[in-house]
């Protein structure tokens, strides 16, 4: 998401061309880029579990919207590998985040029982 947000924020010609191809106005590019960057920051900063959940949801919405848009304009199925890998990365990160959260909760409750 970080690598995708930078060209969006800067409105580079390739990002503009992609948005035009998909039929979206290019003024949305910086907004989406900043949203992606804020989502990455929210996921990487410790704490704020509710904001992390929203960031993960936003990433799934962004990826799903991009995939739907790509299919709607008739792009080839060869681009689906990118979308599938994105979903796998998001799901893996989400699952790992919850495993860490669960282990932190269980270690906290164990240390409270020892006290």
pTM above 0.95? no
pLDDT of residue 101: 85
Write the CB contacts of 42 (distance below 8 Å, at least 6 apart in sequence). Answer: 48, 51, 52, 54, 55
Cβ proximity of 40 and 90 under 8 Å = no
Phi, psi (deg, nearest 5) at residue 113: -70, -30
Helix (H) or strand (E) holding 27: none
pLDDT range class, residue 89, cuts 50, 70, 90: very high
Q: b/e per residue, 47-74, with b = 16+ CB within 10 A?
A: eeeeebeebbebbeebbeebbebbeeee
pLDDT one-digit tens code per residue, 20-40: 999 999 999 999 999 999 999
Which carries the bigger pLDDT value, residue 90 or residue 76?
A: 90
């Amino acid at each position: 998401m970080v690598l995708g947000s930078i060209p969006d924020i800067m409105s580079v010609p390739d990002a503009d061309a992609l948005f035009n191809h998909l039929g979206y106005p290019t003024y949305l590019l910086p907004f989406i880029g900043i949203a992606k960057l804020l989502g990455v920051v929210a996921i990487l900063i410790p704490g704020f579990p509710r904001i992390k959940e929203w960031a993960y949801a936003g990433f799934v919405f962004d990826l799903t919207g991009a995939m739907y848009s790509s299919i709607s304009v008739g792009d080839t199925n060869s681009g689906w590998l990118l979308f599938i890998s994105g979903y796998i990365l998001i799901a893996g990160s989400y699952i790992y985040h919850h495993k860490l959260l669960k282990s932190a909760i269980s270690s906290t409750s164990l240390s409270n029982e020892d006290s």
